[in-house]
Structure 1
């Protein structure tokens, strides 16, 4: 079947040869800066999925994506409860009080979560939140039972409120850091990031901006007392384009630079990393999913602009703490039909195109982008391909995870990509990817003994369209190199299409699951081949389907 498909592709290439094609030039001798692994950052709402069967399996795969450590960010690490996992919920019972109001610390569940990361060589972004019930200024109601289709605001319960006692909360943080050092060692904990809360500019924080800043001062002081070399940051605001988010973000950074510290009484507060979120905004238009990458890029660019406006802070690493096509990972396709992009290749091509532009935006603003967290993991024991924003379903990888496998092979420095291309980061930021032309472009890198090129054919509208002939002209290669051509499209590296061809079984049998697991892995489009270059140049012809991604890896 694959041989026949390849033959048809070759025939199609010859038919397209006289028609319009896209030419992409890759100059591996022109460096654009280091190929930072900004993609090697992941996060999710439900911390208790971490150590469950499919959670451990997926974390193992994510950890293997990169030669560098992968960072993981999760919510609810200080929430009171018995550790039962549920959508948009998690708990660790790290802090309770006895009958006399004395603190009782229990690190058992947090240790299970962090042990799972450390065993795989991963690094936590240790999120300090949310509020334990015994410290909440409004403790009831506390536990929520939200499910897809419910009002999203139902999730904001007693865990979202400021503490009754800031010193008690600070002591909790101090004890947590000290416990982490005792369990994992000072050097290991120094490599983590610590942060306060999530999206305090909306209902995740039921206090005022000033109360958040006060809590930050207490928390930062506690972290630094426990470990002076620890890295602490914030404020993880939602998209900085929003007026309230911009105001909150600037108010926080103003305090860091010039405010009076609530603990020390001195000017300013420690800040080692700056965080904010950036999301797109898909919708359903005439029955077709239409993405909006421009919205996400404007969020990112506004955040970079704000950071760059603070001379004393602009050198600090930036983590886009959630960087996704839209905002609710736990909202399913059933109740949110605009989320139908999540199972197939639209999510994967969007991811390839969007991450490439994050590098461009950081270069343009001259800021230090360290990472962009993909807020997607897995949802334990849910229906197959239910349309959650996840990387795997029931232990089977979705197409999008293969884009991260491609990124994991990109080492060394980013190199120049040029051509008469319809889109760049500026045009997408202004108007997204609409109109007749698709975003056909590439991201490329070169290391000592390899060069890699990721090529995508993306459009915001998930409408059928003919494949496009793409000519990738690469210069700066040695006289001979081994070419491996990987592909994510409707047929390759696509468990979702394989599942549909099976008849979309609600309960796949063992043989079907094995086949789906195989289909979910990154696959070669054709057998590896040695190519000879002329003056260090070669041309690779690719017939690239809409929403498809090709990955060319040259080694020598």
Structure 2
């Protein structure tokens, strides 16, 4: 037997022994005839610090894959669209050099570098979230003690003058107007009208070296500039951090009060606000030598933000974009730097994300808000080691397991329908203490046109081997005239849809052969657990039994 095949079989046997299914099966009931709400494609949003990665080899490849995972347009948000520099990406840094001042003090606008980024978005068929930041070098005000413009990682890259307020707010507004005007001229009014314009990033922390009031002024002049160039542009913010903290909560509240009660510093008129954005994050740690996720932190931050938005009658129904929603806060910090980030390569990250998606929908229903986006701050890093442990969707062109849970979500459509699981951890318990005792064995289901999909998972905050679940899924409400349905069962676990597992079995090569690379590419795709099969329908029901290891995620896709 081939050495790699033998290694994979041995690993699978060890995993199966560690995660043998429980003798007490979990019953999941899905009722297709009982809708509970729209299936908004909140999964189709992604972002990254290094906007210049967009035009690089694997960045281009990944953008195409992101486009292909969803029937709905995929949105991309990137930092540093206005930052000064040479257009070369570094960790947590990029630049476009759109604005400089000549020897006579006259502004010079150059869109050469930024055009390459947006052209690549267009070529891939994805849409931008135009994050208006950061401050060009020649426009940044001088702040005592802030002497450098670019501070390089691993130092705090947000400590430089690129995060200073503008020395002239009117000139800042004119830069934004010129930038928006150029985008409209290059890509068309209709196209750019479908984009989102977000002002800055996390101005409640060190990404902004001014006061909250100075940020409000920045916002006013920015949206005024956008709207002068494109009157129907979709504008919003403040892209603040997760409002579970008192400081972030106060910032979000005061920003909304500013938009509601004040007049724009730019034109003295009402302040436009078309969407509200903030950033809920989790908090993984290492406990007794293993990773323990902090799902409760992310969900509590989202819940607090939803409650704040819901408290403003004028804004309660505005779209909410979680423009960074992640297990923790530093995509560019590898697991070599922070061992708690070791969750990123294997099936734990997808299972966490599946649980988060369901929980965010439940919170949306609870607070009656319009959540449209759960943006994953993850892309790829060029020139780094294979599976180095960055928060990425792919590594050197090899898709990681996390990308496959978004492919699963893209196969779901229509309305969310009722699910009930005997293995579910109630949302209130997850919010209070995470998933630290029993596993959360739960489901999210949709019904579309002549199809249905049920995503199921066995999730636990602790990344340790444990007994999995024997699951019995009963799907009712299938139209009475349907006698057979086609089942496609997709799976992410230790040995399915998991390039990391295959890479380790190869001996973790940093220079894989051509044959190894081809095998890794194949292993990175979404994989069927078994061949598609036709199931007989009785009384509008089918029942599907499966074994679900801990940290595994399945999608049961039915067609008729």
Q: Report the TM-score range of the alignment, normalised by the length of the smaller protein.
A: over 0.9
- Counterparts of 1:124 and 1:349, CA distance in 2: 27
Match of 2:205 in 1: 202
User: How far is 1:294 from its partner?
Assistant: 0.5
Q: Matched residues in 1 for 2:471 and 2:169: separation?
A: 59
Report the counterpart of residue 458 of structure 1 in structure 2.
459
User: Are 1:324 and 2:326 counterparts?
Assistant: yes
The structural deviation recorded for 1:4 is 8.9
Structure 1, residues 223-282: CA drift from partner, whole Å, max 9, x if none? 11111100100001101011111111111100100013212224x410001000000000
Correspondence 1:113-192 to 2 at 5 A: 113-138=117-142, 140-147=147-154, 151=155, 153-192=156-195
Is 2:389 the counterpart of 1:382?
A: no
Gaps of 5+ in 1: none
Deviating more after overlay: 153-162 vs 196-205: 153-162
2:216 & 2:229 partners in 1: Cα distance?
20
Moved more, 95-104 or 203-212: 95-104
Structure 1 residues 175 and 16: alpha-carbon distance in aligned structure 2, compared to 1, 3 A threshold: closer
SS of 1:508's equivalent in the other structure is coil
For 1:180, what is the secondary structure of its paired residue? helix
For residues 479-511 of structure 1, what are the alpha-carbon distances to aligned partners after superposition, in whole Å with 9 as ceiling and x for unaligned? 211000010001010000000000001211111
Residue 33 of structure 2 is aligned to residue 32 of structure 1: no
Structure 1 residues 70-89: aligned runs within 5 Å: 70-89=74-93
Partners in 2 of 1:212 and 1:422 — Cα distance? Answer: 42
Secondary structure of 2:470's match?
A: strand
Aligned runs of 1:410-449 on 2, under 5 Å?
A: 410-435=412-437, 437-449=438-450
Q: Residue in 1 aligned with 2:372?
A: 370
Equivalent in 265, 268, 271 of residue 269 of structure 1: 271
Instruction: Find out whether 1:48 has 2:49 as its counterpart.
Output: no
Once the two structures are TM-superposed, the CA of residue 37 in structure 1 deviates from its matched residue by: 0.4
Question: In the alignment, does 2:286 pair up with 1:279?
Answer: no
Q: Deviations over 1:188-222 (max 9, x none)?
A: 01000001100000000000000000111111111
State the shift of 1:115 in Å: 1.1
Aligned equivalent of 2:313: 311
Residue 64 of structure 2 contacts residue 125 of structure 2 at CA under 8 Å; is this kept in 1?
Answer: no
Distance in 2 of aligned mates of 1:282 and 1:471: 31
Report the alpha carbon displacement of residue 536 of structure 1 after superposing the two structures with TM.
Answer: 1.0
What residue is the counterpart of 1:236 in the other structure?
239
Q: Tell me how far apart the structure 1 counterparts of residues 234 and 27 of structure 2 sit (CA, whole Å).
A: 44
Cross-structure match for 1:344 = 346
**In 1, distance between residues paired with 2:93 and 2:424?**
43
Deviations 1:284-329 (A, max 9, x none): 0010100010110000000000000000011110000100000000
2-structure distance, mates of 1:362, 1:62: 25
* Structure 2 alignment gaps of length 5 or more: none
CA contact (8 A) 2:436 2:461 kept: yes
Local SS of the residue matching 1:457: strand
**1:520-535 map, 5 Å:** 520-535=524-539
- The Cα shift of 1:143 comes to 1.7
Aligned residues of 2:423 and 2:439 also touching (Cα < 8 A) = no
**Residue 80 of structure 1 contacts residue 133 of structure 1 at CA under 8 Å; is this kept in 2?**
yes
Q: For structure 1, which segment, 44-53 or 465-474, has the greater mean C-alpha deviation from structure 2 after superposition? A: 465-474
How many angstroms apart in 1 are the aligned matches of 2:415 and 2:147?
52
Question: Equivalent residue of 2:286, what SS?
Answer: strand
Match of 2:221 among 218, 222, 232: 218
Q: CA deviation at 1:421?
A: 3.1
1:453-492 maps to which residues of 2 (within 5 A)? Answer: 453-477=454-478, 478-492=482-496
What TM-score comes out, normalization by structure 1 length?
0.96
- Per-residue displacement from partner, 1:322-357 (whole Å, max 9, x unpaired)? 000000000010110000100111111101111111
Say whether 1:359 aligns with 2:361. Answer: yes
SS at match of 2:138: helix
**Matched positions, count:** 545
Deviation at 1:33, TM superposition (A): 1.5
1:24-82 CA-to-partner distances (Å, cap 9, x unmatched) read 00001111121110000000000000010000001100010111100000000000000
Shift in Å, 1:121: 1.9
Q: Is the 8 A contact 1:146 1:155 kept in 2?
A: no
Native 8 Å contact 2:413 2:446 kept in 1:
yes
2:158 and 2:212 map into 1 onto residues whose CA distance is: 20
Q: Following the alignment from structure 1 to structure 2, what is the Cα–Cα distance between the partners of residues 273 and 60?
A: 27
The separation in 2 between residues aligned to 1:145 and 1:264, in whole angstroms, is 37
Q: What CA distance in whole angstroms lies between the structure 2 residues aligned with 1:154 and 1:92? A: 17
Query: Does the 8 Å contact 1:26/1:473 carry over to 2?
Result: yes
RMSD: 1.8
| Contact 2:21/2:549, CA 8 A, preserved across alignment | no
Q: CA deviation at 1:16?
A: 5.9
1:104 aligns with 2:108: yes
Q: Following the alignment from structure 2 to structure 1, what is the Cα–Cα distance between the partners of residues 228 and 373?
A: 26
SS of alignment partner, residue 133 of structure 1: coil
SS at match of 2:354: helix
Q: Distance in 2 between matches of 1:20 and 1:343?
A: 30
Residues in 2 aligned to 1:233 and 1:368: alpha-carbon distance in whole angstroms: 14
